Amino acid sequence: MAYRSKKVLITGGAGFIGSHLAEKLLQSGEEVFVIDNLSTGSLKNIKHLRKNKKFHFIKGTVLNKKKVANLVKKVDQIYHLAAAVGVKTIIDKPLESFLLNLKGTEIVLENAAKYKVPLLITSTSEVYGKNNKLPFKEEDDRIYGSAYNSRWGYGLSKGSDEFLALAYHREKDLSVVITRLFNVIGPRQTGSYGMVVPRFIQQCLAGKPITIYGTGNQTRCFAFIDDVVLALISLMSNPKAVGKIFNLGSDKEITIKNLAKIVKRLTKSKSQITFVPYNKVYGQGFEDMAHRRPDLTKIRKLIGYKVNISLKEAIKKIIRYLNSSVN
């Protein structure tokens, strides 16, 4: 029997991850619909896709109930990526971020349940909050700071999205998969919202100081976009993933200080590494997670997930992309 291509909706599809996901789905022969309000996404990210007859871009927000309903009822799958992006956005626009994450997800879930459309939601490692029990397992407790500290609003709102999605799964029999992303990097990612890898690379290429926030002893795990996108598609197509939460990323830790040194070496930059206190960037009382490492047992067992592209190779690819964008 001939393969029938699916119609797929990506919310936030003009963003860094969404644009790569759209690209991969189109390569697989799917028809892709993207809705994005371009607040943090960019038309540049999807420019190369717009000549494809199977690609459809709709400028709009997931807070627009009518627009979302019209899209959902015509598709076979939904990847819900639309959300506030980056720590800086959350600090600067806490109300907008909270409402987008909560209301937007509710509208998408409501319509997905109404039209019986399977849904994958991208959550975040931020949901673990101040939990310091490493590595993070999907069943672990969440520990958040004070309500006066807007830094925790993002993790709390995305955690609420998870509860809401699972409630729709249990009560409305909606096919839902939840992924918690850990520091995804790659071409098209911007450093404008606090993303550390593109910021370091851009600073090095421009000959500016490499600014590390805090002591630089905090650790993170970075996964390349290609590995992550393939995993998202694989999870969406696996019936055993329905109703479950999966950590997704790399589990190889590196200090931010060592990350800066690697970027400096690979860019052959003479930029000086400097340290900036958190309160100078995010205001008084900012709290950060000292370490963030996922337990990937669950996703490895289900789909055979593995990281194919090392951090150094990922950085080289981003450097090449940024150099070609300038030239």
Is 282 inside any structural domain? no
Residue 273 pairs in a beta bridge with 210
Taking the model in full, what pTM does it have? 0.95
**pLDDT number for residue 284:** 77
Is 40 inside any structural domain? yes
pLDDT tens digits for range 254-270: 999 999 999 999 999 99
**pLDDT number for residue 100:** 87
Q: Give yes or no for residue 327 having a pLDDT over 60.
A: no
Q: Which residue has the higher pLDDT, 3 or 21?
A: 21
**pLDDT number for residue 189:** 94
Is 275 inside any structural domain? no
pLDDT tens digits for range 158-173: 999 999 999 999 999 9
C-alpha 323, offset from chain centre:
24
With b meaning 16 or more CB within 10 Å and e meaning fewer, what string describes 191-204? Answer: bebbbbbbbbbbbb
Backbone angles phi, psi at 120, to 5 degrees: -115, 130
Query: Which pLDDT band holds residue 190 (cuts at 50, 70, 90)?
Result: confident
Print the SS3 string covering 174-227. Answer: CCEEEEEECCEECCCCCCCCCCHHHHHHHHHHCCCCEEEECCCCCEEECEEHHH
CATH of residue 178's domain is: 3.40.50.720
Query: Which pLDDT band holds residue 285 (cuts at 50, 70, 90)?
Result: confident
Q: Give yes or no for residue 176 having a pLDDT over 80.
A: yes
**pLDDT number for residue 86:** 67
Average pLDDT value for residue range 291-300? 97
User: Which stretches of the chain are DSSP H helices?
Assistant: 16-27, 43-46, 65-72, 87-92, 94-99, 105-114, 153-172, 196-205, 225-236, 256-266, 278-282, 297-303, 311-326
The region of weakest confidence among 21-35, 78-92, 119-133, 290-304 is 78-92
Backbone angles phi, psi at 213, to 5 degrees: -85, 130
- Structural domain including 17 reads 7-185+222-251+293-308
Of the residues 79, 144, 154, 305, only one is catalytic, namely: 154
Q: Token match 């309500």: residue? A: 147
Average pLDDT value for residue range 228-252? 98
Average pLDDT value for residue range 95-112? 93
The tally of domains found in the chain comes to 1
**pLDDT number for residue 108:** 98
Is 271 inside any structural domain? no
Query: Which pLDDT band holds residue 315 (cuts at 50, 70, 90)?
Result: very high
Is 200 inside any structural domain? no
Query: Which pLDDT band holds residue 94 (cuts at 50, 70, 90)?
Result: confident
Average pLDDT, the chain: 94
Backbone angles phi, psi at 215, to 5 degrees: -80, -20
Q: Is 162 helix (H, G, I), strand (E, B) or coil?
A: helix
Average pLDDT value for residue range 65-79? 98
Is 174:283 a contact under the CB 8 Å cutoff? no
Query: Which pLDDT band holds residue 33 (cuts at 50, 70, 90)?
Result: very high
Is 323 inside any structural domain? no
Average pLDDT value for residue range 31-59? 96
Is 297 inside any structural domain? yes
pLDDT tens digits for range 193-214: 778 999 999 999 999 999 999 9
Is 217 inside any structural domain? no
Residue 154 falls in the annotated catalytic set = yes
